[in-house]
Amino acid sequence: MNMIKSGVDRKKNALVTTLLLGMASATLYLLLFLYSESLTHVATLIRQGHKIYVVIPIGGALIFSFVHGAFTGRFWDLLGLKAKKQVG
């Protein structure tokens, strides 16, 4: 029975991690939509010569990619989508 329990525990841990990453990702996207107009305004400011604001799109791209990438990677794994197993 312990073995079954250990399998369940591992799946539970994987689920919790995936959910936490999913929530972090969802929060980022919520912020993206809430501040949608400000982000368009940032691009206008850059065009007007305030080049320092370039850090917002570039930094944003990095943060979104790390968080959402970690979430989606675990998401499909959790659902059991795996490459074809090669058996020799």
Partner 1 sequence: METIQFIDLTVSSTIILFLVGFVGGMVSGFIGSGGAFVLTPAMMSMGVPAIVAVASNMAHKFPKALVGAYKRNKYGQVDIKLGVVMGIFAEIGVLIGKNIMVDIRAAFGPTGTNLYVSFVFVVVLAIVGSIVLKDGLMEKRGLGKSMDPSPKKLPALAQWVRRFQIPGTMIHFKSIDAKISFLILAPLGIATGMLAATIAVGGFIGVPAMMYFVGLPALTASATELVIAFVMGMGGSILYAMEGAVDIRLAMIILAGSLFGIQIGAIGTTYVKDYVVKFVMAAIMLMVLVSRFFYIPGYLSQLGRIAPIKESTINVLNGIGEGTLFFALVFGAVMILRALYTGIREHRITEVDATPLPALASRENFSRFLVASDGSDFSAAAVREAFGLAQKCASKVYVMSLVATGTEYGGLGQSILKQEITQAQTLLDDIQKDAVSLGLSCETLVINGQVVDHEIISQAERLHTDLIVMGRRGRRGLARMMLGHATANVIGKSHYNVLVVPRAAHIDGRHMVLATDGSRHADRAAITAGELAKKCRMPITVVSVVEADAQADLRSKAEQTVQRVVDYLKREKITVEGHVMLGRPDAKIIEVAQEKNADLIVVGSHGLTGLERILVGSTTERILNGTSTAVLVVKEG
**Binding to partner 1 by residue 51, rule CB under 8 A?**
yes
Give the Cβ contact number of residue 57 at 10 Å: 12
What are the C-alpha distances in Å from 75 to residues 5, 15, 58, 71? 22, 9, 25, 6
d(CA 32, CA 42): 13
**Binding to partner 1 by residue 52, rule CB under 8 A?**
no
**Binding to partner 1 by residue 34, rule CB under 8 A?**
no
* Shortest distance in whole angstroms from residue 21 CB to partner 1: 11
Site residues (CB under 8 A) for partner 1, limited to 1-20: 2-3, 5-7, 9-10, 13-14
Whichever of 20 and 36 has its CB closer to partner 1, that residue is 36
**Binding to partner 1 by residue 60, rule CB under 8 A?**
yes
State which of residues 8, 23, 30, 73 lies at the interface with partner 1 (CB under 8 A).
Answer: 73
**Binding to partner 1 by residue 40, rule CB under 8 A?**
yes
Is the dihedral angle over the CA atoms 50, 56, 57, 58 positive or is it negative?
Answer: positive
What are the C-alpha distances in Å from 88 to residues 32, 82, 84? 48, 18, 13
